[in-house]
Amino acid sequence: MIRIFRAPSFLAPVCGLLFVAMAAHASAKDPLPLEKLKLPKGFEIAVYSADVPNARELAIGTRGTVFAGSRRVGKVYALTDADQDGRAETVRVIVDGLQLPVGVAFHEGDLYVSAVSQILVYRNIEDHLDTPPKAEVVVSDLPGETHHGWKFIAFGPDGKLYVPIGAPCNVCDREGYAKLLRMNPDGSGREDVAYGVRNSVGFDWQPGTNALWFTENGRDLLGDDLPSDELNRVGRTGEHFGFPYCHQGDTLDPEFGEGKRCADYTAPALKLGPHVAALGMRFYDGKMFPAAYRGAAIIAQHGSWNRTQKSGYRVMTVRLDGNKVLGYEPLIEGFLENEESWGRPADVLVMPDGALLVSDDQAGAIYRVTYAAKRQ
């Protein structure tokens, strides 16, 4: 059964103020067509909020506040579900006017936000949702190119902030780009973690091993079926994953692959499919879903933009046994119908109760996925 909720949509303007609170009022928008979505038996999906324009990366605070970055609208949102009914009744715009603030990460009470060349921090954010503090600049000298310049960010189990530096192109070979780096929370101690990463917009650390896994978007303009997007695992610091010389672990680039060997680079743990635009990923560490999902990687696939027959537009489950991939199957399908999409998944987030949130930047919504075993 699919339950559909119409989330609040009312903007309370405050003249002269940068930050705007969105209060709970009846939505005038048409309800989202959740009846078109297909999930495995026992799973249900509902709208957590339909008032988050261009919702991208998600993070959660210690008091349950859900934070969402955006790309096109330059805003960061804070969502609260005070009555804990599985639906955010209040959505606040806590940051506005930033450049592609896709990335949000919560750490020791503070909210970190990526803005292309900058990483900003908002101290003690959950104490100040109605009157957000002035941003402090953590980093201001990251590359300023906007091509793959938006950044998914996250804190690792080592307490360091991990930041991708995407290639400023479809395919090129430029020093200082196409990598993952990490730094201390104050921006010091920067260290490159992985190279040959064209553009990662999602990563997480595997429960039990603390190994870093990440999604990677393959290059364009090699046809409909090449190359595949990737799910990768970092086995050692400084590992090289092939870009721009080798794609999907076995295909040399027609321009930059001359004289190279794919065997010299780390192959993906899993090919995710051509042009699916794999973005946010998290390991499922909750207890609500069936045991088969524990420790699985859940991946939001935003969907292709120039493939003849569109691909992606879904949320996928990758079942793992340590480093070994056991299965790859859909968790949510149905955002694409007759080559037209009404939604594009961008990130996933496991909630404290085990439910899964999914952001959708096309519909401007966040969904909540739950599981309830049916009694016989």
**Per-residue confidence in pLDDT tens, the chain, 376 aa:** 333 333 333 333 333 333 333 333 334 466 899 999 999 999 999 999 999 999 999 999 999 999 999 999 999 999 999 999 999 999 999 999 999 999 999 999 999 999 999 999 999 999 999 999 999 999 999 999 999 999 999 999 999 999 999 999 999 999 999 999 999 999 999 999 999 999 999 999 999 999 999 999 999 999 999 999 999 999 999 999 999 999 999 999 999 999 999 999 999 999 999 999 999 999 999 999 999 999 999 999 999 999 999 999 999 999 999 999 999 999 999 999 999 999 999 999 999 999 999 999 999 999 999 999 764 3
Task: Give domain status of residue 134, yes or no.
Answer: yes
- Residue 170 counted as domain residue: yes
Element (H, E) at 331: strand 324-332
In this structure, how many other beta carbons lie within 10 angstroms of the beta carbon of residue 193?
22
Beta strands 314-321; 297-301: pairing state:
antiparallel
Query: The domain spanning residue 234 has which CATH number?
Result: 2.120.10.30
Q: Distance (Å, rounded) from C-alpha 125 to C-alpha 94? A: 9
To the question of pTM greater than 0.85 for the whole model, the response is yes
* 223 belongs to a structural domain: yes
Q: Answer yes or no: is 322 within a domain.
A: yes
For residue 262, tell me if it sits in a domain: yes
Residue 374's pLDDT is what? 61
Which domain does 208 fall in, by range? Answer: 20-371
Report if residue 1 sits inside a domain. no
Number of structural domains, the chain? 1
DSSP string, 128-165: -SSSPPPPEEEE--S----TTT----EE-TTSPEEEEE
Bridge partner list, 20: 93
Q: Is residue 279 part of a domain?
A: yes
Q: Yes or no: say if 11 and 364 are a contact pair by the CB < 8 Å rule.
A: no
Identify the sign of the CA torsion 271, 274, 279, 280: negative
The confidence score (pLDDT) of residue 295 equals 98
Residue 12 in domain: no
